[in-house]
Amino acid sequence: MASASALLLVGAGGANAGILNASFEHPVVPAFTQGFIQDWTGSAGQPFYYGVASEPSLPQPFPDGNQGGYVNNFAGGAGVPASHSIAQQLTDVLMANTHYTLSGYLGWRNDNAQSTGGIGLYAGGSVVDGDVIGGVLLGSSSVTLTQNQWVLGSVGYNAAALDPNLGRLLSVRLLGTSKSARAGIARFNPDTQEIENIEILFFSKRGGADRAFDLPVVAELHRLNEAEA
């Protein structure tokens, strides 16, 4: 999933709240970064989960600036969708009798499997590794992405006079969830029942890229008999 910009409008006049690096123009890169977006935090675990990119894998042209932020999403075990995200806590706080509108342009990375994009507005808590911990979700929106296009997602929130979250810091979160799956194929020797070959299939265009990868697995694999199954 990719994002070209994020915008939080506050009040009837539509004043822009302080989202830093909202169009992901920093740092300026010739291709992409891994594990770093200035002023944002992202999913931990692997550096390639998120970053900034200007390369053609993101939809072109960008609706704002020359770069976009991205998160890579890979399906979990047994094809369970995986999600990664980026987030930022603002210096703005939730104010009484005020309407908030969070919007952002989201896109489908051309070298990833199809994804769903999402945005969320939070009050309170803290931002850690692309997530909002201990905060209250004020509103969220999910959009189905279309290849080679930017899709505008938005969510609104009205803070009442006695809103229980008044005075708490606001945070924004951009989320990508993969719809891809993966599967494994094993070939057994019909006489010894030993595994001769195993293949793992990733249903993503990234599999066609000229990038080697290792599977850090050491195991003694065998076929289950009926009693074990």
The pLDDT score that the predictor gives to residue 4 is: 64
Q: Between 202 and 167, name the one with better pLDDT.
A: 167
State the Cα angle at 219 between 216 and 223, rounded to 5°: 130
Instruction: Report the half-sphere exposure of 50 (CA within 13 A, side-chain side).
Output: 25
In angstroms, the CA 125 to CA 105 distance is 25
8 Å CB contact between 53 and 2: yes
Instruction: Specify the number of domains making up the chain.
Output: 1
What are the tokens at 224? 């289950």
Contact between 139 and 154 under an 8 Å Cβ cutoff? The reply is: no
pLDDT at 156 over 80: yes
Does some domain include residue 90? Answer: yes
Calculate the CA 16 to chain-centre distance.
23
The model's pLDDT over 69-106, given as tens digits with 9 standing for 90+, comes to: 988 876 555 555 567 899 999 999 999 999 999 999 99
62 belongs to a structural domain: yes
Choice between 7 and 162, residue whose per-residue pLDDT is larger: 162
CATH for 41 = 2.60.120
Asked whether residue 44 is domain-assigned, the answer is yes
Rounded mean pLDDT of the chain?
Answer: 78
- Does any domain span residue 211? no
- Name the more confident of 187 and 88: 88
Which residue range(s) make up the domain with 44?
2-178
Provide, rounded to the nearest whole percent, the portion of the chain with pLDDT above 90: 34
Contacts of 131 (CB under 8 A, 6+ apart): 43, 85, 87, 173
